Chain A
Amino acid sequence: MKNVTIYTTPTCVYCKRTKAFFGEHNVAYTEKNVASDSAAREEMIKKSEQMGVPVIDIDGTIVVGFDQPKLAELLDIKA
C-alpha cells in the first residue's frame, strides 16, 4: 500500500475533492491541516516549494492541487 499524505485547509474545495476522490477509490491517507498545524505548514512548503493547497505526497512524489489524472496514475487507479 502506498503512503499517502494530504496537506489541507478546512475551507479548501480542492482538498475536499481530493479526499472525495480518495474515498471513492478506497485510498487510505493521512491528513495534515496546515491552518492549525504550523509544523505541517512548514513541511508542506519545504516539500512543494509553494503555498497552495492541497499538496499530496505519495511515497515521496509531490502533487500540487487536485490533479486527478496524475493522482490516478500514481495510485494505479484505472478510469
Chain B
Amino acid sequence: MDELHDLVIIGSGAAGLAAGIYAGRYGMKVLVLGGEFGGETAKAGNIENYPGFASVDGYELMDAMKKQSEALGIRLVDAKVTAISREGHCFTLEANGKTYNANAVLFAIGAERRRLGLPNEKELTGKGVHYCVTCDGPVYGGKTIAMVGGGDASVKGVNLAAEYVQKIFLIVRGKEVIAEPINFERMKKLGDKVEVLLETSVKEIVGTQKLEKLILSKPYKGSSELVVDGLFVEIGASPQVELAKSLGVELDESGYVKTDNLMRTNVDGVFAAGDVTNHFGRFKQDITAAAQGAVAATSAYEDHKVHGDLCVLHARPVGTSLHV
C-alpha cells in the first residue's frame, strides 16, 4: 500500500506535467503515473509553436517539464494504471502491481493512435508498417514511403521524412489536406518528392516477411497497386476513456471525457485535461493541453481545500495506520 496523495495525475504528457507543476506550486502532494513519458508531445519531433521556444524537440520540452515538476517535489512513476476504484472521495489505483491512493484523480491520459484496421497490419508492424515517423522515418533513407492521413501530423511527418527518403506518397481519404499553413507550405516546397493522392485510401497491405505494396481504393497512374518500402499511419487518435468510464465519468457525443470549463467531470474529485477531452475540438496542441492541465490542477486544488480530509474519513477503518 502506497501513501495517500492529494492528487494522482494519470499521464505524463503536456497536460499531466503542466497539471503537476501547478498542483506542486499549490503545495499539494502529487503523484504522476505516466504510462508513456511525454505523451504525444515527446513523439512530435520539432515543435515551433510553443511560446518561449522558437524551436524545441518535443522530447526535450517534456524533459524540461519533468525536471520542473520534480524540482517542485512531484513524484513521477513510470507505470501504466490498469484499474481504478472510488469510495466516496477516496480513489484507489492499481499500476504495475502496486496500489496507490488519492483524494482526487486527474485524467491526462491522452489518446491512442488509430490503426487502419486492415488485415496484415499487425503482422507487418515494424516490418514496413509504422506509427511513429519521428522514430522510424529516418530508417528509410533513400527509399519510397507512403504516409496515410490528411491532417497536420501527417504533413509534419512528410516534412520530417523528406530529409531522409527519396519519395513520399501522401494518401488522403478526403478532398483536401488540412494542415497548419506553415507546414503545408514547407511540404509544397518539397516539389516532386511528394505526391498527394486525394480521395484515396489504403484497401490492402500486401507482404509476407515485409511490406511489399499497397492496394489503393483509387488507381494511381493506371494501377491500384503502389509499391512502397514503408507505410506510416497518421490518422489521428482515440481518447483513452476506459478507466474514466469505470468510475462513472460521463463522455461527450464524440466519446471524449466530458468536462465543464474548469476541467471538472461529473464525478466529484475527478478532473480531466488534454487529448482525453474534446475541450478545444480538433484543435489539440501542446499549449492547449498544458493550459487545460493548469486549469484542472487549479480546480483540484479548490476541491482539495474543501474535501481534502474526506478520503481519510471515507476509506480508512478506525485504527488503520496512515502513512501521511
Q: Which residues 28-67 of A sit at the B interface, judged by CB distance below 8 A? A: 34-35, 38, 41, 49-53, 64
Contacts of B43 in A (CB 8 A): 13
- The smallest beta-carbon distance between B80 and chain A, in angstroms, is 11
* B127 in contact with A51 (CB, 8 Å): yes
Q: Choose one: B42, B134, B135, B139; the contact of A41 (CB below 8 Å).
A: B139
A17 at the interface (CB under 8 A from B): yes
Closest to A65 in B: B126
Known: A52-B135, A52-B136. A16 touches B59 (CB 8 A): yes
Contact A51 B139 (CB under 8 A): yes
Interchain CA distance A70-B210 in the complex, whole Å: 25
Q: Which label, helix, strand, loop or mixed, suits the secondary structure of the A interface? A: loop
Residues of B within 8 A of A14 (CB): 132, 135
Would you give the shortest CB distance from A51 to chain B, in whole angstroms?
A: 5
Interface size of B by CB at 8 A reads 29
If A11-B45, A13-B42, A35-B164 touch, whether A53 touches B230 (CB-CB below 8 Å) is no
Q: Given the complex, which residues of A lie within 8 Å of B126, measured CB to CB? A: 50-52, 64
Q: Chain B residue with minimal CB distance to A14?
A: B135
Find chain A residues with CB under 8 A from B128 CB: 51
User: CA A11 – CA B162 in complex, angstroms?
Assistant: 14
Residues 136-162 of chain B, each 1 if its beta carbon lies under 8 Å from chain A, else 0:
111111000000000000000000100
Least CB distance from B122 to A in Å reads 13
**Contact: A41 with B141, CB < 8 Å?**
yes
Q: Is A12 an interface residue (CB 8 A)?
A: yes
Q: Would you give the shortest CB distance from B56 to chain A, in whole angstroms?
A: 13
| Cβ–Cβ contact B42 & A51, under 8 A | no
Binding site for B on A (CB under 8 A): 9-17, 34-35, 38, 41, 49-53, 64, 68
Give me 6 other A-B pairs in contact (C-beta within 8 A), A11-B46, A14-B132, A41-B139 excluded: A9-B138, A10-B138, A12-B134, A17-B59, A35-B164, A50-B126
